[in-house]
Structure 1
């Protein structure tokens, strides 16, 4: 069934239609988070599986989403927003720090936000890959935002004279690409390491590019 059914308006059982609709949408999102993020995964899940897990009907599903891909798309944005909020939450606390410590704190906040719920990690770094051109564009758009954010932090440090000024776009793109690749391999079990080891390795890559040539790295 394609398309979207217009939900009924008015009140039912004393509850406004908008409130009932928001609750249904949340139940579908929670079901998708479990099925896509914990198993069996997006490609092995059907709309009937989501409806069963949510305790709702397929008609109600189509009131909220056109396709199963729409559900995955919304969850991908949601898990990215969780990680983004984790970073923005510590940003005011680290603005005064020197760049190596600032970048370390920001990235550790990101890693904590992206991996606190293993379902988020799976959706952000595994399930979204190769689904469709549309989701590839969405994924790359979010990657571009992270690249821009990192460039802003490095440009700010350069403006303060804390690191040499240069074009940081390649460094930022390489670092964000490394995050996505390594986190994917870690999430699917191809890399046998703890999260702390993954975070430390990625930070070494980034912080090494912030050193002035000939200057010793962080202890």
Structure 2
């Protein structure tokens, strides 16, 4: 596997070396989103094809990345970061709302972000699978981050008396599987529903976890 080459330093065309490097990296990731997330897919893409799609050279590729796997890893993190930013903005905007409205706002933001571009769905749920132990660990780490976010929301709801107090580690783990599976199947055309209907179903599932049969909210003093 080739090592990374040293990138040129100094200013050129009014841009610093750091600015040129960031632009090259963005162009490679933009090209990877198209080739990995659409056609021909990660496993059928070559360094030469990616460089050509980015309008850059293979030498410039190796100045930024060691391998195509590095590109896929960076792209997977970027797609997750976009979704996380959308969710955190929605959560901040829904602060103080009742549980049902807050959950709907958060899941609508997540679903809207990840399904806005089918290529993001493919990167997150298809192309990343089975590539290497390293990327499997990264995928599980990112999923753990989403589980922690759900647990934090559930614990906060319980503290407000809007949900049953319990350990939400296992329920959150199971629920994130439902979220990912349903959104993937919907984006692939296997679920005959609107995105709003998908979000409503996810909210109902979450409420069923947070408010199990037999639980009643505490009576206000």
The two structures share one fold, judged by TM-score above 0.5: yes
1:42 aligns with 2:30: no
Closer, same or farther: CA 210–14 of 1 in aligned 2, 3 Å? closer
Closer, same or farther: CA 194–40 of 1 in aligned 2, 3 Å? farther
Unmatched 5+ stretches in structure 1: none
Q: Contact 1:125/1:183 (CA < 8 Å) preserved in 2?
A: no
Closer, same or farther: CA 200–162 of 1 in aligned 2, 3 Å? closer
Structure-2 separation of matches of 1:149 and 1:13: 44
SS of 2:149 mapped into structure 1:
helix
Report the count of equivalent residues: 216
Shift, 1:181, TM fit: 2.4
Map 1:154-165 onto structure 2 (within 5 A).
Answer: 154-165=154-165
Shift, 1:147, TM fit: 0.6
Match of 1:213 in 2: 213
Map 1:37-116 onto structure 2 (within 5 A).
Answer: 37-116=37-116
> TM-score, normalization: structure 1?
0.91
Match of 2:219 in 1: none
Q: Contact 1:122/1:187 (CA < 8 Å) preserved in 2?
A: no
> TM-score, normalization: structure 2?
0.90
Shift, 1:89, TM fit: 0.7
Shift, 1:144, TM fit: 0.5
Q: Contact 2:51/2:58 (CA < 8 Å) preserved in 1?
A: yes
Q: Contact 2:72/2:128 (CA < 8 Å) preserved in 1?
A: yes
Unmatched 5+ stretches in structure 2: 217-221
Q: Contact 1:47/1:68 (CA < 8 Å) preserved in 2?
A: yes
1:122 aligns with 2:115: no
Shift, 1:200, TM fit: 3.0
For the aligned residue pairs, the C-alpha RMSD in angstroms reads: 1.9
Match of 1:31 in 2: 31
Greater Cα shift, 5-14 or 28-37: 5-14
Closer, same or farther: CA 105–21 of 1 in aligned 2, 3 Å? same
Match of 1:137 in 2: 137
Structure-1 separation of matches of 2:197 and 2:49: 36
Closer, same or farther: CA 162–204 of 1 in aligned 2, 3 Å? closer
Structure-2 separation of matches of 1:39 and 1:192: 25
Shift, 1:142, TM fit: 0.7
Structure-1 separation of matches of 2:154 and 2:215: 18
Structure-1 separation of matches of 2:13 and 2:210: 61
Q: Contact 1:111/1:199 (CA < 8 Å) preserved in 2?
A: yes
Structure-1 separation of matches of 2:212 and 2:136: 36
Structure-2 separation of matches of 1:185 and 1:98: 29
Q: Contact 2:100/2:203 (CA < 8 Å) preserved in 1?
A: no
